[in-house]
Structure 1
């Protein structure tokens, strides 16, 4: 019984960790635009799935970022 419980907990943990990472996609830089302030750049990205988004960044644009298309959250 102990082995079954241990196995079930391990499977639940694996399922939750996979679900937590499944929403994030990598976006690659496709364009940069000036914002009028020399310190900031508008960075435009696109994922392989076709999701296109932009963000204002201080300094140079990162070549790639991770985005959650469902929520619009971006992490560098």
Structure 2
């Protein structure tokens, strides 16, 4: 994993922007809107959980959303299901 964009979106090397399936955190990066309540905390939690980790991605039937992001379930090497951990 390269970096955390916000609480529900990450950048993965070789894949690009990945949206975590089933996770919807307050927005922090939309330049047209202010940061939503608890957005910074959600981003920080995802960053602590995933940054610097190797992760295994599993895909659903729909592999991309309408914004072109890859949709995935994210699993850490220790078996932690990151999507559920964030929710």
- Greater Rg over alpha carbons, structure: 1
Structure with bigger RCO (C-alpha 8 Å, 6+ apart): 2
Q: TM-score, normalised by structure 1?
A: 0.29
Q: TM-score, normalised by structure 2?
A: 0.27
Q: Which has the higher strand share?
A: 1
